[in-house]
Structure 1
Amino acid sequence: MATGLSISLEFSGGAELLFGKVKKHDVVLEEAKQPWSIKKLLFWIKDNLLQERPELFLQGETVRPGILVLINDADWELMGEADYMLQENDRVVFISTLHGG
């Protein structure tokens, strides 16, 4: 059995297009000396899952404006945003609210 932190990542509202059109990813993050923050997770996502156009997902050290982030169905703004420390079996959802015309 893999050791590490098991979480679920979901992408929707068009964000899944940046991830090979795969909406749900169950991942195990390797054990680390420091707890996994959302900020650290964002860079892991960029390096391990993101397949194209990182500028449409990330801006600086956070998600691009227009991407809603939910942690266990709660807005990440209520959870400390990028400073939130991930817990076992957390569900992190990224929903793009940006639509082309």
Structure 2
Amino acid sequence: MAETSLTLEFTGGSEFLVGNQKIHQVSIPSSSLTIRSVLNWLRETLLKDCDRIDLLLEGEYVRPGVLVLVNDTDWELMDEERTELKSGDRVTFISTLHGG
């Protein structure tokens, strides 16, 4: 099976969910990859030991208050979780959720 190499970036506080590491270079087994596939991979891999996954994901979707960019473009201008990705793409998760 082919793999898709991506850069995953976590900012705005979301990096604490993935070991306080902002940038992750990953290869995901798939010849056809969408953001939805990346979210499932995140849940099963990078977030598998995280007890606060709800700060990033709500069910199978990105939690409201978390911005998602694909190559610096808001995914809402694309096809959101159905956006197709290719090797070399950068997916950025920016949390806008802050305590008060």
Same fold (TM over 0.5): yes
What do residues 10-50 of structure 1 show as CA deviations (whole Å, max 9, x unaligned)? Answer: 00000001111010000011134xx1110111010111111
| Residue 87 in structure 1 maps to residue 79 in structure 2 | no
SS of residue matched to 2:15: helix
Structure 1 or 2: larger strand share? Answer: 2
Aligned residues: CA RMSD: 1.1
Distance 1:31 1:18 in 2: 24
- The answer as to 2:72 corresponding to 1:73 is yes
Q: How many residues align?
A: 97
The counterpart of 2:45, out of the listed 30, 34, 48, is 48
1:25-36 to 2 correspondences below 5 Å: 25-32=24-31, 35-36=32-33
Residue number in structure 1 paired with 2:99 = 100
TM-score, scaled relative to structure 2: 0.91
1:9 corresponds to: 8
